[in-house]
């Protein structure tokens, strides 16, 4: 039951507003709780009853007590309140029946909208796949098709044709997992887990005369002990561009553009001489630290730079191997560049992953973060 209608002492507009608002709140609260016909009838009697109805009481007590100048103000508010209460009653008497949706019947259907939403959990693309796709997309926009090749390679494609001659010390830098039982086979036919995606360069050139523009995403393996940043399994994206008049400055421009596309237009690149048997000149590429913008931070060991990829102009010796099957690869007439990058390293940097092993553990908690 509601409180008794109080006597009013002040009749200014503010006092009247407050008094009527209080009554309206009471009426709405009462209407919202109506859940059966008897309650609706009780509500009607309580508010609109001709003798004891609250509105009747209001008019009796307040209108009489009001000074003449306040009677009009009070009357307007009284009629408004009456309309609200009647509306509440209509709604309670049957939502929709008379076209007035709202009120008690729907109020009874109230739900807790603050409970968290029910989620149909979406699967998450693996961060390595995601990074591989980002990289290939950037190069696709530069005219690069995707090339792939086998994970089990021959010594010829993995090493010899990439200008790692048998017995060459450069082979030592890539600890290789080999397939069992190869000892009796000729060296170039021996099977091994490819240590880089570079052999696909040769496979592609053997299939296709110049020009060539491909990116090669793929899984590679090395006989490396696992630690926070090393894994016997990892992924690379290799790129190859061959045509007439491809220059070192084209290589620089292409990678500078690609790094800006991948890491933001503010990123700067710089090139250092390096050594890879299959390119000459060879370079390592650093980008300005994406965390500190080059000022120096913990991530870049205060240097302002992060080493990200290896590249160079395709070595004429590599073209010579390709020319055995495709004479168009004459190093006097064409030139080209190749580049390669470690996908895990980029993914670790972009997504703040500190252990390379997280990529291969299939831990739902780790993977969910990429949904």
Partner 1 sequence: MKILTKWLRAYVPGVPVDDAQLAEDLTLRGIAVEGIYDLGNGNGSLFEMDITTNRVDAMNHYGVAREAAAIYGLALAGLDFALPKAREGAASYPVRIEAEDACGRFTARVLRGVTMGESRDWFAGAEVATYFGLLEQKQISNAVDATNFAWIAMGQPTHVFDLDKIEGGIVVRRARKGERLKTLDGVERVLDAEDLVVADHAKALGLAGVMGGWDTMITPATKNVLVEAAWFDPIAVRRTARRHGLHTDASHRFERGADFNAAPVASGLVSAILLESGGWLEGELVDVRVAAIEVRTAKRKPVELKLSEVHRILGATVDAEGITAATVEGVLTALGCELATCCGAALDGASWQVTLPSWRLDLEREIDLIEEVARVYGYNRFANTLPEFGEGVRALPWAEKEAAVRRTLLGAGFHEAIASTFCSATEAALTAPQPGLSVPLGNPLSEEAGVLRPSLVPGMLAMIAGNLNRDVSDVRLFEVGTVFSGNTEKVEERPSLAFGAVGSLPEQGALQAARAIEFHDVKGVVEQVLERFQSRAVDFDRFPAEAGLTPEWLHPYRAARVVVDGATAGWFGELHPREAAARKLKEAVLVGELYLDRLYRLPLRQPIAKEISRFQPVRRDFSLVLDESIAWEKIDRAVAGLQIPELVEWRAREVFRDRKLGVGEYSLLLGVTFQAADRTLREEELQSFQARVVEAVGKVGARLRS
250-309: contacts with partner 1 (CB under 8 A): 250, 252-254, 256-257, 270-275, 280-283
Nearer to partner 1, 46 or 315 (CB): 315
Cβ at position 157, least distance to partner 1 in Å: 13
**Residue (of 304, 268, 306) closest to 284 by Cα position:** 306
Rounded to the nearest 5°, which phi and psi values hold at 213?
A: -140, 105
Q: Which stretch binds partner 1 (CB under 8 A): 57-65, 68-76, 100-108, 140-148?
A: 140-148
Q: Which stretch binds partner 1 (CB under 8 A): 19-27, 36-44, 76-84, 121-129?
A: 121-129
Please select the residue that binds partner 1; options are 88, 193, 346, 356, rule is CB under 8 A.
193
CB 136 within 8 A of CB 343: no
What are the structure tokens assigned to 58, written together?
């209001």
Range 144-183, binding partner 1 (CB under 8 A) = 144-146, 148, 150-152, 167, 169-170, 172-173, 177-182
Q: How many CB atoms lie within 10 A of CB 347?
A: 24
By C-beta, is 71 or 137 nearer to partner 1?
Answer: 137
**C-beta of 248: minimal distance to partner 1 in Å?**
5
**Per-residue contact track with partner 1, 311 to 340, x per CB under 8 A?**
--x-xx------------------x-----
Q: Smallest gap, in angstroms, from Cβ of residue 314 to partner 1? A: 10
Give CA–CA dist 91/111, Å, rounded.
Answer: 19
Give, as one character, the DSSP assignment of residue 225.
-
The helix-helix angle for 248-263 and 127-140 (nearest 10°) equals 130
User: What is the size of the binding site for partner 1 (CB under 8 A)?
Assistant: 82
Q: Which residue, 36, 259, 2, is CA-closest to 138?
A: 259
Q: Cα-atom radius of gyration of the chain, to the nearest Å?
A: 39
Q: Using CB under 8 A, pick the residue from 28, 61, 82, 219 that binds partner 1.
A: 219
123 forms part of the interface with partner 1 (CB under 8 A): yes
Q: Using the minimum distance from each CB to partner 1, give the nearer residue, 61 or 257.
A: 257
Residue 64 CB, nearest approach to partner 1 (Å): 54
Which of 68/113 has CB closer to partner 1? 113
| 116 lines the binding site for partner 1 (CB under 8 A) | yes
365: left (phi over 0), alpha (psi -120 to 50) or beta: alpha
With contact defined as beta carbons under 8 Å apart, do 347 and 359 qualify?
Answer: yes
Residue whose CB is less far from partner 1, 255 or 349: 255
Cβ proximity of 247 and 223 under 8 Å: no
| Beta carbon of residue 26, minimum distance to partner 1 (angstroms, whole number) | 33
Distance in angstroms (rounded) separating the CA atoms of residues 237 and 341: 5
66 binds partner 1 (CB under 8 A): no
- Strands of the sheet containing 233-243, edge to edge, are 145-146, 212-221, 233-243, 335-342, 305-314, 279-288, 269-276
Instruction: Count how many residues are written for the chain.
Output: 371
Among residues 34, 233, 308, 338, the one that binds partner 1 under rule CB under 8 A: 233
Closer of 10 and 361 to partner 1 (Cβ): 361
């Amino acid at each position: 039951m509601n409180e008794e209608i109080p006597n009013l002492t002040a009749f200014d507009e503010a006092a009247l507003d407050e008094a009527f608002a209080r009554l309206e709140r009471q009426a709405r609260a009462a209407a919202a709780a109506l859940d059966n016909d008897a309650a609706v009838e009780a509500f009607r009697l309580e508010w609109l009853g001709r003798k004891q109805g609250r509105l009747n009481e209001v008019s009796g007590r307040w209108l009489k007590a009001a000074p003449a100048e306040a009677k009009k103000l009070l009357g307007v508010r009284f009629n408004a309140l009456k309309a609200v209460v009647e509306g509440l009653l209509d709604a309670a008497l049957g939502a929709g029946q008379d076209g007035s949706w709202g009120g008690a019947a729907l109020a009874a259907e109230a739900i807790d909208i603050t409970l968290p939403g029910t989620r149909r959990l979406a699967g998450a693309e693996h961060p390595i796949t995601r990074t591989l796709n980002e990289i290939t997309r950037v190069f696709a926009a530069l005219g690069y098709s995707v090339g792939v090749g086998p994970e089990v390679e021959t010594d010829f494609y993995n090493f010899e044709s990439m200008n790692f001659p048998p017995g060459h010390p450069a082979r030592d830098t890539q600890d290789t997992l080999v397939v069992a039982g190869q000892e009796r086979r000729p060296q170039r036919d021996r099977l091994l887990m490819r240590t880089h995606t570079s052999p696909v360069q040769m496979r592609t050139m053997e299939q296709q005369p110049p020009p060539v523009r491909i990116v090669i995403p793929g899984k590679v393996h090395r006989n490396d002990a696992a630690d926070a940043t090393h894994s016997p399994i990892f992924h690379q994206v290799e790129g190859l561009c061959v045509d007439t008049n491809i220059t070192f400055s084209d290589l620089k421009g292409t990678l500078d553009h690609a790094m800006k596309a991948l890491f933001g237009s503010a990123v700067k690149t710089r090139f250092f001489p390096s050594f890879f048997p299959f390119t000459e000149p060879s370079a390592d590429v650093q980008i300005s630290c994406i965390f500190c913008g080059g000022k120096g931070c913990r991530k870049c060991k205060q240097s302002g730079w992060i080493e990200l990829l290896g590249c160079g102009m395709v070595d004429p010796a590599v073209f010579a191997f390709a020319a055995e099957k495709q004479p168009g690869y004459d190093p006097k007439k064409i030139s080209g560049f190749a580049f390669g990058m470690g996908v895990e390293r980029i993914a670790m940097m972009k997504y703040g992953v500190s252990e390379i092993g997280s990529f291969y553990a299939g831990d739902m908690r780790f993977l969910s973060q990429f949904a």
